[in-house]
A and B are shown apart, each in its own frame.
Chain A
């Protein structure tokens, strides 16, 4: 279903998947290796037993959970392959619950499990070795060190210092720019990133992409190399594979790395956790074979993987055109592009046309769209869309405005309808958010420096509101300058500030046009009937709307009633759908409906990891009472 476009990939790495030896490549995520080996299904859900496959490929959806080296429920899109790794998909024998508790801990114990009956002596509490996430030391991909500068952290989480001047979370454009600027100004800076290599999603795989320069991804992708180089050479302490799962007390970050957690402190924290793809809750979107277009692009960038069978690309937004163009460059044939952009958008966007004429995106964007239209079957004004299949995708049906329903056989359906800020970490930290009516999502409330209502905490990049890669880097720089000036009164950086503000202004020009032009249609954002809205708990749109009739005023009471948003993705893939559905049902604005109340950990960590965190006398008294 996915094939490698080039054999000139990383060094061969042998892993086993469900007992079968598979040749992966260094730089592959386990998900990429599985898909390249034709292994689509990762698990079945604990609710209905339905099969699931990797969907988002960027750590958002939690559908790609498998067991790795005996530890259940690892997110394979986030874990790089390692020689000898043992991967087992998680079929659910009972349709109610996967049997992992008993299976894993007692009968199929992994290499360093608790022993025969689970009664072997534990060492220090919480020191149970979660071999799941590999050794304590995180091994970055081969080619990264050739990028110059200080080598990434060695020695695992213990090598982190207790305190830094500045901590930057996320190594995409904004985070790289922020870390570079802070470190160059002499701040002791740590750059924590969940991915195995720098670049974020936009420059995913840039330090190790098997694709040769300029041919497939386009020149603008490779522009990222400069910033990656600068950030790595800036003296910032770059830590890949580090998940920040919470901001606890002021200035305190909870970090998980290779299965161990620690709390570290920073005087200034800059969140650059970027964007994720907007949920696309259409009938059948949970079927294996349906994947986000951004996820497919991640596979392309980092592992040179492209869909091999009949592939349909559907949705709305610049990325639809970009990935179609990149596939054309790579000689990958798409069956069709189903454009769900509402026709009416054109008229609304025209009001902002004057500013868009000055946008740097105009020429490139037009060229891209024309190139794709010339060479691909693009079906416009698609107003209904659904995925069908038994156990996996078999066909896509769609209807255009005024037309009859059409059906296409398909092996892969790639979906996209724009990107939205990834708000979980910021919201859990108490950052105030507001509904952005143009972007159709919640965005943090920020000042000109990206500073939030939480003291010492700033947000930069697309996590602050979608504005694109150049604007993201500029916002990263500005947030960094804000941090530097707070810590070093009298620091200059006037020229840097001026340049960043000019870049920001230049790339924000015309954004209103893009937002209006690519505004996803209401029917694609607000599902109805039996369409699943919450992938984790398998809650349907109708059930959500019915709770409004029962008096649920917002997502939090609704969630208590239906468990919607309570799964491992913590509402990332249903939150906006829920807010919009309840807003429509109640006839009030999304701001009044609000969002899920989020709390750390914003990404799952093990109970053992939590147990390994420092405690206090007061905390002991609060729990072990007599």
Chain B
């Protein structure tokens, strides 16, 4: 076992989890449920926080091109989301509104339909891929499922495993559940330095030093800086996404659209932009305009709803788009988790990952997701 033994120095915590977003909190909650003493070290109120800016889909249908393991991992999380939501509900009485009505990826031209069909075929034809149910639909079939679709919608791909959730309430529920089980949350504790000592890690933070037996890096974009301090790497970059939110209206969407969904509270969210803009999280009118245009072409009724809010947030995008899970050989007891699908994978991060981290067997189970993949030469 590469686990550090809490011997001579006796740190206050078994685990320090760096990052209080969905990924960090899910892992921290999973560990504290296993009886571990856990502290979460977080930044302040205005941190870049993908967990507060995401689109809140639990999305399966298009994930995994280039890495079938990721498709499996995604499907596993989608299938455990119900269990996860129920556990949170039991611990907190909060309903995170997980629903799995199936998702439509709407397509606005025959060219888009063809390209989409080919992409899904390629995904399913990969060696090692486990097939899952999806269908290509024409306009009339889409209209049966979503009567509000506009005449420009040429078709859609549909997958019954796609769902969505109230991601903000999930973040809150994780915080509540974590606190109720005795976990310690420390905001304004941005981690500046990590030092591995015998039997413990010492973390220098903006508000003093914290010692813990083991450490989990779940700091999103911050992992890129922190990982080398414990002999790991996390090649992640910010990728901007912009979101439009409308006033609340009566429930009208029976299904979710990959770029349009109605929240349990009634707002309609519109999104799906990807920009390489560094750490600039400002909204831009051109992108918002294109998002609005496509949304109105998909569901013309949206044109007359009031937009009450727009925002931009930064995705945590690994170099190849796939999650990175790792444990350090140089500094045993240091683990890392980072991905851009923190909502979809949240059930895994809460239920599947903590036992592996606790047992120190991350490498065996999730070896495909190690950052070592970035160094495998094509010849091998």
Contacts and interface: CB of A to CB of B under 8 A. Distances in A.
B277 to A, nearest CB: 9
Interface string A299-335: 0000000000000000000000000000000000000
B175 interface: yes
Contact of B250 (A100, A118, A568, A594): A100
Q: Is the interface on chain A under 10, 10 to 19, 20 to 34, or 35 or more residues?
A: 35 or more
Contacts of A551: 20, 42, 175, 179, 185-187
A623 B265 contact: no
B87 interface: no
Contact of B286 (A557, A566, A615, A624): A615
B247 A604 contact: yes
Interface stretch (B191-199, B212-220, B267-275): B267-275
A132 interface: yes
Interface stretch (A91-99, A217-225, A350-358): A91-99
A560 B306 contact: no
B187 A614 contact: no
Given A114-B300, A606-B303, A623-B272, A122 B289 contact: no
B244 interface: yes
A368 interface: no
A622 B283 CA distance: 13
Contacts of B168: 560-561, 563
B89 interface: no
A333 to B, nearest CB: 39
A612 B150 contact: no
Interface stretch (A123-131, A391-399, A441-449): A123-131
B172 interface: yes
A550 B290 contact: no
A99 B301 contact: no
A554 B172 contact: no
B305 interface: yes
Specify which of B185, B282, B303 lies most central, judged by the most chain A CB atoms within 10 Å of its CB.
B303
Contact of B307 (A114, A126, A605): A605
Interface string B177-203: 001000001111000000000000000
A601 B307 contact: yes
A601 to B, nearest CB: 6
B306 to A, nearest CB: 4
Given A98-B250, A550-B179, A560-B52, A610 B307 contact: yes
A97 B112 contact: no
B112 A626 contact: yes
Contacts of B52: 556-557, 560
A619 interface: yes
Given A73-B247, A97-B248, A608 B179 contact: no
Contacts of B301: 101, 105-106, 114, 118
Given A114-B300, A611-B295, 15 more contacts: A73-B247, A105-B148, A105-B304, A128-B296, A551-B42, A551-B186, A557-B187, A568-B308, A601-B307, A606-B304, A607-B302, A615-B289, A619-B273, A619-B284, A622-B275
Q: Which are the 10 A-B pairs with shortest beta-carbon distances?
A: A554-B45, A608-B303, A101-B249, A619-B286, A611-B292, A604-B306, A128-B303, A613-B289, A610-B292, A105-B301
30 contacts: A73-B247, A96-B266, A97-B251, A100-B249, A105-B304, A119-B300, A122-B150, A125-B293, A128-B304, A130-B304, A550-B172, A550-B175, A550-B176, A551-B175, A551-B179, A551-B187, A553-B44, A553-B187, A556-B46, A560-B171, A566-B308, A570-B308, A604-B306, A607-B246, A607-B270, A613-B285, A613-B286, A622-B290, A623-B272, A624-B294
